[in-house]
Structure 1
Amino acid sequence: MSTINEGSYASIQFSLAWRSAEATHEERFLARKANLWRDIFPPGFKDLLMGLGAGEGVRASYAPGRGLPGREASRVVELPRRAFRGRSPSGRDITPRAGRFYPLGFFEGLPGVYPQDARPGRVLRADESLLRVDMGHPFAWRTLDVTAQVLEVRDKTSDTGGRISCWMEELCDGGPGLQARCEDGCPTDFADADAMTRLDPSDDALFHETPRLVNHVDSGAAQVLREAAMRRVRPGTRVLDLMAGWRTHLDPCAGIHVTGLGMNAQELAANPLLAERVVHDLNKSPLLPFPDASFDAVVCTLSIEYLIRPLEVVAECARVLAPGGELVIGFSDRWFPTKVPALWMDLHPFERLGWVLDLLLRDGRFEGLWTFSDRNRWRPADDPHIRQTFTGDPVFVAGGRRA
């Protein structure tokens, strides 16, 4: 068996575990081709990897400021409100809100920052005349636990230049950490008068009139969604698949009784995992047509982004869940843009995780909150989008347990 050495490439599954005041978090990132001679690893981590073979793993913990830039008082700055120049992808002028992250390039007058700078900065305070902005890394003050599982080791045949990867940055930059509230625990201000407006406000029944018997994410992402849900769904229990279609991201061999609630009868009829089928439009009526404590789990995958009254729907999920029941909400970065609210398009994918957590926190009946992300998988070779990108669809999941 080949083992990791200076003359090898390795495929490594990294996992980052961390805590916020409101939840536990796990971020998974695939290092497809780590070069042990050239790449940069977290402090001391390369030595831990040396000599490992496929199937073996290591773990290390990093205190704040070790492996990533730590907290610096100079990274928190105050600016006049007029210094904010932000526009959404849909062209709307953005109002800066406390707790939200925005590209640093949206703020004029920040030292060393240019308009093209996409690194996130967090608004700590926003009033009529002043903005207080934290330019530091979202993990600057957090302890991080890094785990690596070796998937494959290959001997090099040559080494003639190429890209240097810093794997701590790959794992931690680009969004992880944005789902947590501010250090003082104050809720993020997601409110906006136009937050729930959509490009197409027409009756959703018209949009769903024609069945869409297509896969909305690649098969690898679907498997990750299934595994994430089955970590929380116990075999032999009653499950509600909320906003269901022709595929349910659950294990068909788990002996679970699944009720599907969706918008299209033909899609529901084509779903072999459903024992019961209910056609219901949650945007017209968030009230679920089930008695209290009817289910041991509620799973909503690839659909939360279409709700225009999400807090009311989460409240109904809490009502129909038995004590100890699990709510699991998963999504990716593919959706029908005309049917998602403006807020969804304005948020970074990891902020969307924070928004889902905020729904559960505001409801107040969920405990043991958690989030999970999975990024940078290979796209399956038979996927229809393989010619556009080799990278698989990312997966983001959040949930909690009914108190």
Structure 2
Amino acid sequence: MNVIDMDSVADVVFQLKWNSQHAAHSECYAARGVNLWRDWLPDTIKRSLIGKRSWEHAAVGFSPGELFGSDGGHLKIDRRQFSNNPKAGRFYPKGCLSDLPGVFPQNMQPIRCVGVNNGHMEVDVAHPLSLHPLELSMTVGQVSAKESERGGSSVDWIGLLTEGPGMQARWQGKPTDFFSDNPFVRRDERTDDRFYDSPRLVHHLDETARDMVADVYKRFVKDGAHVLDLMSSWVSHLPEGVCPDRLSGLGMNRTELEQNPHLTDIQVHDLNAAPVLPYENKSFDVAICNVSVEYLTRPLDVFAEVGRVLKPGGTFVVTFSNRWFPSKVVRIWEQIHEFERVGLVMEYFLRSNSFKNLGTYSMRGLPRPRNDKYAGELALSDPVYAVWGQASAP
């Protein structure tokens, strides 16, 4: 069995844990072919990996600012120097700023608008994780000796891991403005029953991503549980071997629901037309919703309803990726960064006043299955994001 040294190439799954004011967060990135000699990694991380074998673990902690610097990096600028219509708490490419030294339109580094008033705006250019203590754990996969170095590029694996995480948290505890300027309009405003009239018996995620979703649900769905599959379809994405006593499917297409062999009962119901769940109070132990939250036009009402039908302490788990039906997705979803979408769903939990003990999870970097229809176009599996919370007692 090979041991990692400076001449090794190794597969490593990085997991970064951190806490914001309202949630515990876990960010995972599967790095393939980490070159200890050539790639950029902080020395503390390299030292923790040296001597490790396949399937062994390593861990490193970082104090606030150690990886990114702790300076808040606030700038107060004239509103006219910003090309967008800024909203407090939201992120924008740094290239949207004009007449600033060293800033070019092509600069995509995210910066955060933290205030707009009297013709001025304040932006925070610091990394959104810079003020948080971080816990990094690493699981080593395959280890091999590197080939002789003949050119090649260096990969910043920590940069990839931290590109996005942190953007989901509120700035200094203040709610992010996701809700102004009609965020829940859609390109196709025809009633949803027309759009979903024809069954779509296809998968909306690749096989690896579906396994990751099932792995998330496995944390919360236990044998004998009563489970609500919200915005359900012909697949519920529950892990194999888990046997809930009740699995209630609520969705838009009867044929899709009837094709799902795990559902114990079904309801055809349009939540955008009537955001009221046809279930009794405290009926379920767990509610799940997969790759569908982006279509809700009245999400706060729906989340409050989920809180009503869950038993106190029951968990609502929402999973999603970066694929959707463009004509039916709400406008805000397309306007924001992938990790801001995690923050948007967190806002649904928080503003519904029905949940506590929030958590988030992300998984990126896994290879796309070779038999996937997009394998020739996309090297990586669909990313998976999850947000969950426990129902509060009334």
Q: What range is the shorter-chain TM-score in?
A: over 0.9
Whether the 8 Å CA contact 1:24–1:369 is kept in 2: the answer is yes
Whether the 8 Å CA contact 2:304–2:353 is kept in 1: the answer is no
| Map of 1:78 onto structure 2 | 76
Secondary structure of the residue aligned to 2:327 is helix
Structure 2: how far apart are the matches of 1:96 and 1:65?
26
| Map of 2:86 onto structure 1 | 96
Give the unaligned 5+ runs of structure 1: 87-94
| Map of 2:58 onto structure 1 | 58
TM-score under structure 1 length normalisation: 0.95
Deviations 1:197-235 (A, max 9, x none): 111101111111111111101011011111111112222
Whether the 8 Å CA contact 1:42–1:167 is kept in 2: the answer is no
Q: Name the amino acid aligned to 2:346.
A: L
Distance 1:252 1:273, change over 3 A: farther
| Map of 2:252 onto structure 1 | 263
| Map of 2:111 onto structure 1 | 121
Q: Tell me the CA shift for residue 36 of structure 1.
A: 1.1
| Map of 1:381 onto structure 2 | 370
Q: Name the amino acid aligned to 1:45.
A: I
Q: Name the amino acid aligned to 1:162.
A: G
| Map of 1:131 onto structure 2 | 121
| Map of 1:344 onto structure 2 | 333
Task: Map 1:341-380; keep pairs closer than 5 Å.
Answer: 341-380=330-369
> 1:236 aligned to 2:235?
no
Structure 2: how far apart are the matches of 1:59 and 1:301?
31
Whether the 8 Å CA contact 2:303–2:354 is kept in 1: the answer is no
| Map of 1:195 onto structure 2 | 183
Secondary structure of the residue aligned to 2:302 is helix
Whether the 8 Å CA contact 1:246–1:269 is kept in 2: the answer is yes
| Map of 1:180 onto structure 2 | 169
Q: Tell me the CA shift for residue 395 of structure 1.
A: 0.5
Q: Tell me the CA shift for residue 128 of structure 1.
A: 4.6
Secondary structure of the residue aligned to 1:384 is coil
> 1:171 aligned to 2:169?
no
Give the unaligned 5+ runs of structure 2: none
Q: Tell me the CA shift for residue 243 of structure 1.
A: 0.3
Secondary structure of the residue aligned to 1:205 is helix
Whether the 8 Å CA contact 1:259–1:275 is kept in 2: the answer is yes
Q: Name the amino acid aligned to 2:320.
A: F
Q: Tell me the CA shift for residue 132 of structure 1.
A: 0.3
| Map of 1:213 onto structure 2 | 201
Q: Name the amino acid aligned to 1:192.
A: S
Deviations 1:331-385 (A, max 9, x none): 0000011101111100111001001111111122211101100011100011000
Structure 2: how far apart are the matches of 1:365 and 1:326?
11
Structure 2: how far apart are the matches of 1:168 and 1:388?
25
Structure 1: how far apart are the matches of 2:248 and 2:118?
49
Secondary structure of the residue aligned to 1:338 is coil
Structure 2: how far apart are the matches of 1:196 and 1:157?
52
Q: Tell me the CA shift for residue 127 of structure 1.
A: 2.2
Task: Map 1:4-23; keep pairs closer than 5 Å.
Answer: 4-23=4-23
Structure 2: how far apart are the matches of 1:190 and 1:127?
18
Q: Tell me the CA shift for residue 194 of structure 1.
A: 2.2
Deviations 1:301-354 (A, max 9, x none): 100000100110001000000011000001000001110111110011100100
How many residues align? The count is 391
TM-score under structure 2 length normalisation: 0.97
| Map of 1:36 onto structure 2 | 36
Q: Name the amino acid aligned to 2:345.
A: V
> 1:254 aligned to 2:227?
no
> 1:309 aligned to 2:298?
yes
Structure 2: how far apart are the matches of 1:252 and 1:274?
14
Whether the 8 Å CA contact 1:252–1:273 is kept in 2: the answer is no
Whether the 8 Å CA contact 1:233–1:326 is kept in 2: the answer is no
Q: Tell me the CA shift for residue 279 of structure 1.
A: 0.7
Secondary structure of the residue aligned to 1:69 is coil
| Map of 1:110 onto structure 2 | 100
Q: Name the amino acid aligned to 2:68.
A: P
Structure 2: how far apart are the matches of 1:273 and 1:128?
57
Whether the 8 Å CA contact 1:295–1:325 is kept in 2: the answer is yes
Q: Tell me the CA shift for residue 157 of structure 1.
A: 3.4
Deviations 1:371-402 (A, max 9, x none): 10001110001100001111110011001011
From 281, 284, 300, the equivalent of 1:292 is: 281
Runs of 4 or more above 3 Å deviation: none
Structure 1: how far apart are the matches of 2:50 and 2:308?
51
| Map of 1:92 onto structure 2 | none
Q: Tell me the CA shift for residue 162 of structure 1.
A: 1.1
Q: Tell me the CA shift for residue 100 of structure 1.
A: 0.7
